[in-house]
Amino acid sequence: MSLLGSSGNGKTWHVKVTTMDADLDLSSIDPCIMGRELFDLVCRAIGLREIWYFGLQYTNKKQIPCWLEMDKKVNKQEIPKQDDGSLHLLFLVKFFPEEVEEELIQDITRHLFFLQIKQSILNMDLYCPAEASVLLASYAVQAIYGDCDGDVQLELSKLLPQCVLDQYDMSPQMWEERIRRWWTNNNGLSCEEAEMEYLKIAQDLEMYGIQYFPICNQKETDLHLGVSAHGVGIYKGADRITPRPFFGWSEIKNISFKNKRFNIKTMDKSAITFRSIDASVNKTILDLCIGTHSLYLRRRQPDSLEVQQMKVQAKEERLRRQQEHSRYEREKDYRAEVERERDRLKTDLEMLSDQMRNIQNAMKRTEETAELLAEKARVSEEEALVLSKRASEAEAECQRIKIAQIKAEESKMTLERKAREAELIAARLIQESERRAREAEASRNNLLAAGNRSYPVNYPYDSQIAGAEYGGGTYFGDQYQRATVPPDPSANRAFCTDISSLKAEIEKERSEYNQKSRHLQEQLSDLRGEIDSLKVDDRQTELDRIHAEHVNAGEDKYSTLRKSAAGSARARIQLFDGL
């Protein structure tokens, strides 16, 4: 039968399939095709080979989620049509593995699981305590954005469930700071590794992989049936965490229903009977139980040839991806090294540029100083020439003065000699004058004595006075003033600035920070201790209180299941009937 085409009456359907990361529009679908054929068509369209985990879900007219039946024609199933006449189906995980790391093979399988679990936590369909929510958010941002980047704006509404945000007296900045702190611990993880770490943590959540259906026991007590990869559990009231009781798949022999009544037979031939609230989900419950039990048995058998081939291909793909990641990390480290070297060289260049500017300024000042000194040297040279000329003239004047002084000394000696001679002549003249005066006096006296007899008197006064020629001595002052010759110009001062050379070797980068591997429970305990003081008790839900009791008692999901599965099947059935 052709998938695309028309049935006998020429009518085709338009089917819209929504996966977790894409929308598929399938037009011209024959309404008579089997559910398996439509499912295979979707799987081929998205490149999925691990088809046994998935299914197509729709909401029936009673608003109850139902899975498309594979062995039934599409037009025979109660799939409501949209306003435009098309069919709308959701491509979702239907069956969950026990151990995601060992069982999920393809990248697309892991990615679809990651998206669905993440959305279930955000929608609060899957209970997740606050400490686990923050840790999961750190792996989610690592898978989405890569290594921690301070420029990335985190949207808390897409990372943490609203109930967690409401239960603590913490601002968005405080939540973001804690997510970023844990995000930095994930540096180096690839997208695939981060998604797998996310799923490994999520699979330890108490409600992970459990699909709940409302049921009643013989006392008409409202209960929930939980179907998971580990078995079937009965949950009472709002407690979706602690099964009362729990039956592992290894204990279950047969599951059947008639009308609304279900029977689960155990290996010891005991039977648990309950009634579903709505008969429309009976086939869904049975289908889930059969499919989950089949996968449970399949895990404990050797892998089929197809699975072996897929694992080999996945291993080769992981190896190739690891090599690419290693090459990418090497290139990233090399690029970081180059960028650091570039930054260092840029810093050195800026430093050298500053030094060059300083040197140029110093050279400019040196040139200006040299020009000034050259000008001063020229002026000093001219002054030296002038002073040298003056010195020569002064020396000549000095020689002339010395000669004049010698002549003056000679003249002085002559004058002294003439002075002495003049003194002698003067003395003789004085003596002669005195003698003649005495003779004149005597003559006068004789004349007086002789009376008035007139005698021609001859005064033989022969005044021979040798005039003493005064030789005016000439004073020669010290007219020569000592000429001071300036010292030789000093040598120009050299402004020598040493330019620091570049370092010969580049400093080796510090060894990469070795991330401390912490145990998951220790991480959650540390984070729980961080935010526990900010918890608002009035805002805690019933699931929060139950989870806190389990943590205080040192129990986890698996210890709770073991505890609920303890005892004989008959005793647990009696416990169920007594609820």
pLDDT digits (tens, 9 = 90+) for 301-313: 998 898 899 889 9
Confidence of residue 451 (pLDDT cuts 50, 70, 90): low
User: What are the helix (H) ranges across 50-171?
Assistant: 100-103, 107-122, 130-145, 162-166
Whole-angstrom Cα distance, residue 298 to residue 155?
A: 41
Confidence of residue 42 (pLDDT cuts 50, 70, 90): very high
Single-letter code of the amino acid located at 181:
R
| Lateral strand order in the sheet of 231-236 | 246-248, 231-236, 222-227, 211-216, 271-276, 261-266, 252-258
- What pTM does this model have? 0.69
**Bridge partner list, 55:** 92
Say how many Å lie between the first and final Cα of the chain, rounded. 50
User: What are the helix (H) ranges across 28-166?
Assistant: 35-46, 100-103, 107-122, 130-145, 162-166
Confidence of residue 19 (pLDDT cuts 50, 70, 90): very high
pLDDT of 519 strictly over 80? no
Whether the ω angle into residue 97 lies within 30 degrees of 0, i.e. cis, is no
CATH 1.20.80.10 domain range(s) in the chain: 102-205
- CB 215 within 8 Å of CB 223: yes
CATH 3.10.20.90 domain range(s) in the chain: 13-94
The contacts found for 168-175 with CB under 8 angstroms, 24 or more apart, are 168/130, 168/531, 168/534, 168/535, 168/536, 169/534, 169/535, 169/536, 170/531, 170/534, 174/534, 175/134
Q: Residue 161 — φ and ψ, nearest 5°?
A: -65, 150
Q: What is the pLDDT of residues 359-400, one digit of tens each?
A: 999 999 999 999 899 998 889 888 888 888 888 888 888 888
Q: Which residue, among 99, 143, 136, has the nearest Cα to 117 in the 3D structure?
A: 136
To the question of domain 102-205 being in CATH 1.20.80.10, the answer is yes
Q: For every residue of 233-244, which 3-state class applies, written as one string?
A: EEEECCCCCCCC
Least confident of 7-16, 280-289, 309-318, 421-430: 7-16
Q: Which residue has the higher pLDDT, 277 or 273?
A: 273
Helix/strand/coil percent split, the chain, to 5: 50, 15, 35
CATH 2.30.29.30 domain range(s) in the chain: 211-303+566-577
pLDDT of 514 strictly over 70? no
To the question of domain 13-94 being in CATH 2.60.40.150, the answer is no
At residue 470, the pLDDT reads 36
- CB 108 within 8 Å of CB 48: yes
Q: Which residue, among 552, 485, 550, 12, has the nearest Cα to 241 in the 3D structure?
A: 550
Percentage of the chain with pLDDT > 90?
36
Polymer length of the chain? 579
Whole-angstrom Cα distance, residue 433 to residue 203?
A: 165
Distances (CA, A) of 155 to 13, 134, 159: 39, 13, 7
Q: Which residue has the higher pLDDT, 537 or 475?
A: 537
- CB 209 within 8 Å of CB 198: no
Confidence of residue 31 (pLDDT cuts 50, 70, 90): confident
Least confident of 82-96, 262-276, 310-324, 487-501: 487-501
pLDDT of 559 strictly over 70? yes
Q: What fold characterizes domain 211-303+566-577?
A: PH-domain like (2.30.29)
Tokens found for residue 239: 């407690």
Coil, helix or strand for 26? strand
Least confident of 88-92, 187-191, 336-340, 472-476: 472-476
At residue 1, the pLDDT reads 37
Confidence of residue 489 (pLDDT cuts 50, 70, 90): very low
